[in-house]
Structure 1
Amino acid sequence: MALLDLFIASSIPVLKVLLITGLGFYLALDSVDVLGEDARKHLNNVVFFVFNPALVASNLAQTITYESMVKLWFMPFNILITFIIGSLLGWIVLQITRPPPNLRGLILGCCAAGNLGNLPLVIIPAICKEQGSPFGSPEACRTYGLAYVSLSMAVGAIYLWSYVYNLVRVSSVPSVKETEINDSSVQKSPRETSTSDKAQVTEPLLSSKEFLASGDHQDQYTLPCTRYDGRTEVTASSKIKQKLKSVMDNINFKLLFAPSTTAAIVGFAIGLIPLVRKAMIGDSAPLRVIQDSISLVGDGAIPALTLIVGGNLVRGLRGSGIRMSIVVGIVIARYVALPTIGVFVIWGAQRVGFLDNDPLYTFVLLIQYAVPPAMNIGVITQLFGAGESECSVIMLWTYALASIALTIWSTFFMWLVA
C-alpha cells in the first residue's frame, strides 16, 4: 500500500505538467494561434529575463545560510557528473547510429544536458502537496525544494551555455560551409564555373578571418619547428597561449551569466550577508515588501514555463529527416541508462559521507538524472540554424515519454529516500 501511495504522489505532479503542457500545445496550434511563435518568443523573453530570475533569487534568499551551504556543495558537482555521464552515453549513441556531422553536437547535448530547472520547478512543489509524500510539512518541503531547484537551474544554465552551446556551434560549422558552397555552385552558370576552376584550386575554404577564428585547425598549418637552444619550449608555450585565447574568444560570457545565474548570485548575497538578510527576510524585516514583491513575480514562472514547453512541441509535428534510431538512442540514454547510473552515484556519495540524511535533497539530486533534455537546446539550434527540425522531433518524443519515465523513476526515487 505504501508503494501505491508513492506512485500516486509521483504521478499526480507529472499529470499536472502533462495537462498544462497539453494546453500550451493546443494554444500553439495554427488553427488556434493564441500562443503562436511570436507570442511564445515574447513570453519566453519575459520568463527568461523576469520570472525565472525572480523565482531563483527569492527562493535562494529565503533558504541560503552558511549551514545550508555546507550541504549544497555537492549539487554543482552532481550536475557536472550528469553532463559527463550523459556525454559518454551520447558518444555511444553516435557510434551506433552514425548520424550526419551537423547533428553530432545536438545528440551529445540532448544526452548530456537535462531540464534541471523548468520541469523540477513544477514537479517538486506538486509532490510536496501530496499526502503520500515522504518529505514532511508541505510548506517547508516547498520552500526548501524550490531553493534546491533554483540552485540546480542556475548551475545547469552555466554548464549548458558553456558546454552544449559550443558543441552545437562546432558541429554546425561544416553544415553551414557546405550549404554556402552548394549555394554558390548552384548560382553560377556553366561558363562561370569553367572560368573559375583555377580560382577554386587556389582559394581557401575559409577566409583569413574565419581561419584565424577557428582554433581547431591552426596546428595543421603550423610549420614544424626545429630545436635551437630551447626554442621548442617557446613554441609550445605560444601554442598553449593561442589555444587559451581561442577558447576565451569562443565563450559567450553574456549567455554564460544568464539572468537566472545573476539572480542566483544575488540570492546567495542576500542569504549570506546577515545585515541584508535581516533587512529583507522575515515577517518583521523592514524591507520585506521587496522580497514579497519578488516572490509574487516569480510565482508566474511555473505556469508560463510549462505553457511554453507545450507550445514548442508543435514544431515537432512537422517532422524531419531524422532517423528514429537516433531518437530511440537518446530516449534510452536519458530514461534508462543515466538514471540507473545516477542511483549508484548518489548511493556512493552517501556511503562516502558527502550527503546528509535529507530525503528531499537526495530526491532532487536523483531527479537530475531522470529529466528530459533541456528545452534551451532548441534555442541554441536556432542561434546557429542547424538541426532545428531534428531538435523539435527529439523534444516531442522525449517530453511525450517523460510522463511515463518521470512517474516510474520518481516513485522509485521516493521509495529509496523514504
Structure 2
Amino acid sequence: MAQIGRLLFESNMNSQREDVLSAIVPLLKLLSLTMIGLVLSRFEMIPRATFKLLSKLVFALFLPCLIFTHLGESITLENFIQWWFIPVNVVVSTLFGCLLGYVVVLICRPPPEFNRFTIIMTGFGNTGNLPLAIVSSVCHSSDNPFGPDCHRKGVAYVSFAQWVAVIFVYTLVYHMMEPPMEYYEIVQEGAEIQEEGTEDVSAPLLVEAEWPGIEDKETEHSKTPFIARVFNSISSLSSLPDMDSRDGAISRGNTPMSVTCFAGPNKVARKIKVVAEQTPIQHILQPPTIASLLAIVIGIVPHLKELVYGDDVPLAFVTDSLQIVAGATIPAVMLILGGMLAEGPNESTLGLRTTIGIIVARLLVLPLVGIGVVVLANKLNIVVAGDQMYMFVLFLQYTTPSAILLGAIASLRGYGVREASALLFWQHVLALASLSLYIVVYFKLMSFI
C-alpha cells in the first residue's frame, strides 16, 4: 500500500514537473532570442538603424504574411460567427484594465498631468506581436497541449483580435494621450500651444517598433491639447480652467480673451466634426490590418478560399511563398525586442510608486480578473466548447504587458514619452516572471475546464 502511494506521489510530481516545463520552456526560447538581439545591439554588432529597418520589415511584410496565411486558412463563415467573443474580450479586458488604472491613480496619486497616462498604460495591453510570439513558441514543441493544429489556430485567434486593438489605439487612445491643457502655455497671438520646459527627445527604438516611420505622421495638432482647446470654445468662461494660478497662465496682453458661448447643438456638431477630422483613422489601414481584413474576406467566401488556400489550389504557390516569408516574423520580433531593451529605461517623472502600481495592476491583478471573466464565459457557453487554444488566447489578452504601440502614440502626441519608454521597458523585463507564473496556472486551469 505504501509503495502504491509512493508511486502515485511520484507520478503526480512528474506530471506537475512536465506541466511547469511545458509552460516555461517556450518562454525561455523567446528569452534566448531576445538576449541575442540585446547582445547584438549592446555591443553594436548591429547598428540601431538596422533594427529600425527590421521593424519596418516586420510591420510591412513578415507580420502581414503570417496573418494572411494562418487566419485565412482557419476562418470560415461558421467560425467567424463562433469567434465573436475574441474581439469582445479585447474590449472587456481593456475596460477592466482602465478601471484598475483608475484605482492605481486613486491609490498611488501620480503627478496630476499623468492621471490619464496611468489609466491608458494600465488598460491597453499588447494583443499583437507578443501573443503571437508566445503562441508560436508554445506550439513549436511537439508535446504541446493544443494538438497538431496548435500554431495555425493560435495565430488565427490572435490575428482575429488585432483589428479591435488597432481601432482603439488610433481613435480612443490617440485622443486620451492628448497633452493636458492646464500644463501648457496658451498664447493668444498665433493661437500657439506649446509645452513648458520640454526638450526635444529623439524617439527611442522602444516606441518605434510597432509603428515605423511615426515621425512622418505628425501634424500641426499632434502635440497640442486640441480637443480641450476646441471644446472650451463652446463653454462659458466659468468652465474654463483657472490658468492664472499656474505658471503657464493665459497670455491676455491688454485685450480680454474672447470666449464663445454655447450656441446650440449645431455648434457642438461642428466641433465634433473638427475633432473627427483630426483623428488619424486613416492609419488604421496599415499592412497587418489590411492582411487581416483580406484574410477574413477570402476565408469566409468558399469560392475564393478554394483558389488561395490548400495543397492543390491554383494559387498554392503564392500562399506557400508567403508562408516562407512569415517564418521570419517571430525571430525578428524578439530580436527587435532585445534591441529595444538594450537601450535601457529612460528617466521618468512618473514616480516609483505609480510605476510599481501600474506594473502590479497590469501584470499580476488583471490576469486574475481575466481568469474570472473567461471561466464565467465558459460556464455561459460563450466560448468555443473544447477548444483549449481559444481559451488560452483569451487568457493571454489579460496577461501581456502594455502595448508597445502606446509608446508610439506618446511620441506622436509629445505626452509622457520618457515615462512610456521607461514603463514599457520595466514591464517587458518583469513580464517574463508574470507570464511564466500565469501560463502554468492557465495550463492547469484548462485541464479542469
Tell me if TM exceeds 0.5: yes
Distance 1:125 1:331 in 2: 25
Cα 1:250–1:94 shift into 2, 3 Å? farther
1:235: Cα distance to partner? Answer: 5.5
Corresponding residue of 2:242: none
Cα 1:80–1:243 shift into 2, 3 Å? farther
Check conservation: 1:316, 1:395, Cα contact below 8 A.
no
Task: Give 3-state SS (helix, strand or coil) of 1:251's partner.
Answer: coil
Corresponding residue of 1:220: 235
Distance 2:113 2:68 in 1: 37
Distance 2:58 2:367 in 1: 29
Is 1:120 equivalent to 2:134 in the alignment? Answer: no
Corresponding residue of 1:320: 348
Check conservation: 1:116, 1:152, Cα contact below 8 A.
yes
Corresponding residue of 1:385: 414
Gaps in structure 2 of 5+ consecutive residues: 1-13, 187-192, 199-220, 240-261
Corresponding residue of 2:402: 373
Aligned counterpart for 1:356 among listed residues 384, 387, 394: 384
C-alpha deviations, 1:264-313, integer Å up to 9, x for none? 11001111111211111111101111111222222222111111122222
Distance 1:211 1:380 in 2: 15
Cα 1:26–1:163 shift into 2, 3 Å? farther
Distance 1:247 1:318 in 2: 32
Aligned counterpart for 1:259 among listed residues 269, 278, 287: 287
Check conservation: 1:213, 1:246, Cα contact below 8 A.
no
1:211: Cα distance to partner? Answer: 7.3
Is 1:153 equivalent to 2:162 in the alignment? Answer: yes
Distance 1:181 1:402 in 2: 33
Per the normalisation by structure 1, the TM-score is 0.84
Is 1:135 equivalent to 2:149 in the alignment? Answer: no
Distance 1:317 1:154 in 2: 29
Corresponding residue of 1:180: 194
Aligned counterpart for 2:302 among listed residues 253, 265, 274: 274
Aligned pairs, how many?
A: 381
Corresponding residue of 2:84: 73
1:142: Cα distance to partner? Answer: 0.9
Q: Map 1:197-346 to 2 at 5 A.
A: 214-221=229-236, 236-346=264-374
Cα 1:174–1:39 shift into 2, 3 Å? farther
Check conservation: 2:51, 2:336, Cα contact below 8 A.
yes
Check conservation: 1:74, 1:354, Cα contact below 8 A.
yes
Cα 1:339–1:181 shift into 2, 3 Å? closer
Task: Give 3-state SS (helix, strand or coil) of 2:344's partner.
Answer: helix
Task: Give 3-state SS (helix, strand or coil) of 2:312's partner.
Answer: coil
Per the normalisation by structure 2, the TM-score is 0.78
Cα 1:300–1:33 shift into 2, 3 Å? same
Corresponding residue of 2:16: 3
Which residue identity does 1:295 align to in structure 2? Answer: Q
Corresponding residue of 1:15: 28
Corresponding residue of 1:24: 37
C-alpha deviations, 1:183-238, integer Å up to 9, x for none? 79xxxxxxxxxxxxxxxxxxxxx9xx9878833313324899xxxxxxxxx96432
Cα 1:210–1:181 shift into 2, 3 Å? closer
Distance 2:357 2:53 in 1: 33
Check conservation: 1:102, 1:386, Cα contact below 8 A.
no
Task: Give 3-state SS (helix, strand or coil) of 1:169's partner.
Answer: coil
Cα 1:182–1:376 shift into 2, 3 Å? closer
Moved more, 127-136 or 378-387: 127-136
Distance 2:405 2:230 in 1: 26
Distance 2:33 2:40 in 1: 11
Moved more, 158-167 or 235-244: 235-244
Corresponding residue of 2:218: none
Cα 1:389–1:181 shift into 2, 3 Å? closer
Distance 2:348 2:197 in 1: 21
Cα 1:267–1:47 shift into 2, 3 Å? same
C-alpha deviations, 1:113-158, integer Å up to 9, x for none? 1111111111112212335532122xx1111111111112333222
Which residue identity does 1:390 align to in structure 2? Answer: E
Distance 1:331 1:360 in 2: 26
Identity between Structure 1 and Structure 2 (%): 30
Corresponding residue of 1:228: none
Q: CA RMSD in A?
A: 2.7
Task: Give 3-state SS (helix, strand or coil) of 1:180's partner.
Answer: strand
Cα 1:259–1:122 shift into 2, 3 Å? same
1:364: Cα distance to partner? Answer: 0.7
Cα 1:33–1:238 shift into 2, 3 Å? farther
Distance 1:307 1:97 in 2: 34
Check conservation: 2:184, 2:196, Cα contact below 8 A.
no
Cα 1:210–1:355 shift into 2, 3 Å? closer
Task: Give 3-state SS (helix, strand or coil) of 1:220's partner.
Answer: coil
Aligned counterpart for 1:169 among listed residues 163, 174, 178: 178
Which residue identity does 1:145 align to in structure 2? Answer: G
Distance 1:156 1:377 in 2: 11
Higher helix share: 1
Task: Give 3-state SS (helix, strand or coil) of 2:177's partner.
Answer: helix
Gaps in structure 1 of 5+ consecutive residues: 185-205, 225-233
Which residue identity does 2:233 align to in structure 1? Answer: Q
Check conservation: 1:212, 1:218, Cα contact below 8 A.
no
